[in-house]
Amino acid sequence: MTELSIVPAGAGAGKTHHIQETLTQWVRDGRVRPEKILAVTFTEAAAGELRQRIRGALIADSNLSAALAVERAYVSTIHGLGRRLLIEHAFASGSSPQQRLIAEDEQDLLIRRSIEENPALSELSRNLAALGYQGSFSSDETAEDSFRKKLLGVIALLRTLGPRGSDPAMADFVEASIRTGYGAPIGKFETLAAALQKTVDALLQAFPRSLADDAGSATAKTAFRENFRALKQAQQLLASSGTDWRLWQKLRALRMSMRGSPTPDGYDDLASAVMLAADALVFHPGPLEDAVSHARALVEGAQSAMTDYETRKRELGVIDFSDMVTNAARILDEKPAVLGAIMDEVDCVIVDEFQDTNPIQFTFLWALARKAKCALIVGDTKQAIMGFQGADPRLTVALTQQFETSPLDRNWRSDPRIMDFVNALGPCLFGEDYTALAAQNASGHDTALEVIELANKRGARSGGKPQHFIADRLLSLLTDDRVTIVDRHSKALRDLEPRDVAILCPTHSHCASYAAALRALGLPVRVAEGGWWQSKIVQAACFALRFAVDPADNHAAICTATLGPGATPLGDALGALARDGRIETPELMALQGLWPDSLATPVDRLVHQVIQVAGLRDWCDRLDDPAQMRADLLRFEAEAAAFMDAHRDMREASGFYGQSANVFLGWLENKVGLKGEDLRPNPAGAEADGIEIVTWHASKGREWPVVVVCGLDHKLDPRAGTFSTKFPGFDDLDHVIEQATLAYECSKRTSDGNG
């Protein structure tokens, strides 16, 4: 029988210390041999810290042999543990112990190739506008990008369910959830369309011209112009298909007579008739069937792409990060002898941050924990913010409800005044499940909590934006010599510095706007920003590399001359090219000297030569933000090395053949196009030297003396059109994933135009 200890541990409650002390005591008592510890964390840094703490405690006990034995223990991330088990039990599971782990960008490339070559998905992508996919001018995202992002999200969600995600019944579950959420439709398609057609024809017959010309305000002119355009479109479409539901939605809210912009006699009655007929959209069978068809196609297409992706990996002899856990969980489930052999080598199982497990990770870890002699599970559902990665805290909640828990009830991090606020708020959010944390620190001498609330939100957003208020407040704090903090290393009082401050934002776009406001006041900032690929130094390096392997490339020559260190005026460069057939600048002449040897030089070495002869490294010092430019250039060199290290079969499977400079640039551009790959590196390394701006998710597990939490009015309601995992119950945690289903979040049907 497993001795199970479940420890809910709030932020700052000392969970790592508790794990260390518990493990050390088990070793002291002889219940656990140090080499037979199995401990799982969710980051390499946390695993290393835990191993070091256990070893340090044993050394303090003068138990050197036990401290040395800790090196042989299973202390790693969940993915590291999964891979170790796959290697150690490869033959028992019928797999190779030499499978290569592919990088995340290689994984994305293979999945995207599987999507692009899927006939069903190709058919679905031919009419993206009708399915609601749109491009974005602000982000340069196309409708195809939006569709691909949605599909990748479905694939990621299905993969968190392991083999269950490939069950064909998943599409049936999604359809059932849509029909249940939508309710029974009312009326027939042809009847409802004819009724709307009749009212639209009547309105346009009585008022064949837009009312915009006679409107009394600019707002009214715009509204009447858009209404007239929608009515004319509806008149044409209703006579044919009539399936443009966005158009129906527009007709539910026509402008009518208002003070300052009256309508002609009879217009309001006819417009009201149109809106009444269009309101049938709320219970129309058409949108329901379209939603079902779209959702089923997404799920079935995602499953088909997953099957193709698995085939590609098998042919290449590779696995990805998800496979480490999924395949290990499959072995434990299908090979009881393997599970028994593993548990013979394990005295205890420790799991940290258990609330961040997705369903397949929960299945994997719970299979080990429930068989161990001793098990310690630490987590806090209040800190479960990794849902975007598939984490499902409901599983942890079910665990805490079925077994006795021993919550930690002290906080070692925050000011007592902050904890008073947290403890007052906690029961409002979590009810009886909230455990109050008693502050162990003394109160500071400065203000512990501040609230900045903008009274006139509309005016504030357009004129004095929230980021400007925050920037002004931080500037006043940093320039006030009376504001001090306790240094985390020396424990002595010192002046507040920019590196002591963090701003936590809900989205990356919020981060960028706060960074701009701080920089406008001259405050140093560290933020993960996009734009690496378009960085001036990176673009110069790309064009210089192209010219080095093809001196006849006039476009590369012009861009290198005008963009690079020489900054040749465009007119002069074009004139020289037209007059002499070439552009002679020191950089181009030096680059030309690399040819033709450049054609046979390995890309990583050639990149180094190009940067050197073109003087790009020295040029960084003459550009704005030299440190950032040098960091951008260093990443370019690192990418060249990564390209050379990437497995040839993997590159070719992704459509990149050979190792030439042009293939490298194509590979790199494709990689940068993937989500999150265009972020610029931090020139200061891991230790930020300015005010750090991060998203809420990225702040998890980190600490700063001064923290600004922004965007608390940011809506986090589930969005329509999103898929989610459902469980019929949690009574049988040993097999909970086998009962998982998929659901689809539909729009709420209302009669007020918000459906």
Q: Are 604 and 637 in contact (CB under 8 A)?
A: yes
Dump pLDDT digits (tens) for 152-162. 889 989 999 99
Displacement of CA 587 from its chain's centroid (Å):
40
Average pLDDT over residues 59-71: 87
Q: Which residues of 288-308 are buried (b: 16+ CB within 10 A; e: fewer)?
A: bbbbbebbbbbbbbbbbbbeb
pLDDT-based confidence at residue 230 (cuts at 50, 70, 90): very high
What gap in Å lies between CA 113 and CA 672, rounded to an integer?
A: 16
- On the question of pLDDT at 539 being above 50, the answer is yes
pLDDT-based confidence at residue 393 (cuts at 50, 70, 90): confident
What pLDDT, on the 0 to 100 scale, is given for residue 687?
45
Of 255-259, 481-485, 584-588, 684-688, least confident by mean pLDDT is: 684-688
**Position 147 in a domain:** no
Average pLDDT over residues 428-439: 86
If asked whether residues 464 and 547 sit together in one domain, one would say no
Displacement of CA 588 from its chain's centroid (Å):
41
Residue 146: partners with Cβ closer than 8 Å, 6 or more residues away: 128, 133, 134, 135, 136
If asked whether residues 546 and 613 sit together in one domain, one would say yes
If asked whether residues 553 and 647 sit together in one domain, one would say yes
CATH number at residue 77: 3.40.50.300
Of 124-133, 395-404, 529-538, 663-672, least confident by mean pLDDT is: 124-133
Q: Are 548 and 594 in contact (CB under 8 A)?
A: yes
Average pLDDT over residues 55-82: 88
pLDDT-based confidence at residue 368 (cuts at 50, 70, 90): very high
Q: Hey, how many other C-beta atoms are within 10 angstroms of the C-beta on 563?
A: 18
If asked whether residues 572 and 640 sit together in one domain, one would say yes
- Report the chain's C-alpha Rg in angstroms: 31
What pLDDT, on the 0 to 100 scale, is given for residue 58?
86
Most confident among 38-47, 342-351, 374-383, 566-575 (mean pLDDT): 342-351
**Position 81 in a domain:** yes
What pLDDT, on the 0 to 100 scale, is given for residue 649?
62
- On the question of pLDDT at 506 being above 50, the answer is yes
Of 672, 694, 726, which residue constitutes the final position of a domain? 672
Q: Which residue has the higher pLDDT, 748 or 271?
A: 271
Beta strands, E only, 198-332: 318-319
Q: Smallest Cα–Cα separation from 530: which of 554, 555, 512?
A: 512
Q: What is the DSSP string of 687-743?
A: S-SSEEEEETGGGTT---SEEEE--TT---PPPTT-EEEE-S--S-GGGGGGG-EEE
**Position 303 in a domain:** no
**Position 738 in a domain:** no
Task: For the chain, give the mean pLDDT.
Answer: 85
If asked whether residues 243 and 359 sit together in one domain, one would say no
What gap in Å lies between CA 253 and CA 239, rounded to an integer?
A: 21
Q: How many CA atoms lie within 13 A of 11 on its CB side?
A: 17
Give yes or no for a cis peptide into 208 (omega within 30° of 0). no
What pLDDT, on the 0 to 100 scale, is given for residue 616?
94
pLDDT-based confidence at residue 171 (cuts at 50, 70, 90): very high
If asked whether residues 92 and 7 sit together in one domain, one would say yes
Q: What is the DSSP string of 136-183?
A: BTTTTB-HHHHHHHHHHHHHHHHHTTGGGGG-THHHHHHHHHHHHHH-
If asked whether residues 541 and 519 sit together in one domain, one would say no
CATH number at residue 652: 1.10.486
Q: How many CA atoms lie within 13 A of 193 on its CB side?
A: 19
Dump pLDDT digits (tens) for 572-629. 888 888 888 888 888 899 999 999 999 999 999 999 999 999 999 999 988 888 888 9
3-state helix, strand, coil in the chain (%, to 5): 55, 10, 35
Residue whose pair of structure tokens reads 């199970």 in the numeric block: 4
**Position 151 in a domain:** no
Phi, psi of 244 (to 5 degrees): -85, 95
Displacement of CA 75 from its chain's centroid (Å):
27
What pLDDT, on the 0 to 100 scale, is given for residue 103?
75
What gap in Å lies between CA 302 and CA 291, rounded to an integer?
A: 16
What gap in Å lies between CA 91 and CA 190, rounded to an integer?
A: 62
Number of helices (H), then strands (E), belonging to the chain: the values are 31, 17
| Angle at the Cα of 191 from the Cα atoms of 188 and 192, rounded to 5 degrees | 85
If asked whether residues 258 and 358 sit together in one domain, one would say no
pLDDT-based confidence at residue 479 (cuts at 50, 70, 90): very high
If asked whether residues 80 and 38 sit together in one domain, one would say yes
If asked whether residues 654 and 541 sit together in one domain, one would say yes
Q: Which amino acid is at 77?
A: T
What pLDDT, on the 0 to 100 scale, is given for residue 675?
55
What pLDDT, on the 0 to 100 scale, is given for residue 510?
87
What pLDDT, on the 0 to 100 scale, is given for residue 686?
45
Q: What is the DSSP string of 306-319?
A: HHHHHHHHHHHTEE
- On the question of pLDDT at 545 being above 90, the answer is yes
**Position 640 in a domain:** yes
Long-range interactions of 243-251: CB distance < 8 A, separation 24+: 243/130, 243/286, 243/290, 244/130, 245/281, 245/284, 245/286, 245/287, 245/290, 246/132, 248/196, 248/278, 248/281, 248/284, 249/278, 249/281, 249/753, 249/755, 250/226, 251/196, 251/200, 251/275, 251/277, 251/278
* Dihedral sign computed on CA atoms, order 467, 469, 470, 475: positive
Record the tokens describing residue 556, joined without a space.
């590369």
**Position 301 in a domain:** no
Number of structural domains found in the chain: 4
If asked whether residues 660 and 594 sit together in one domain, one would say yes
What pLDDT, on the 0 to 100 scale, is given for residue 303?
94
Q: Smallest Cα–Cα separation from 17: which of 371, 366, 376?
A: 376
**Position 16 in a domain:** yes
If asked whether residues 643 and 556 sit together in one domain, one would say yes
Q: Give the domain extent around 375.
A: 3-97+322-413
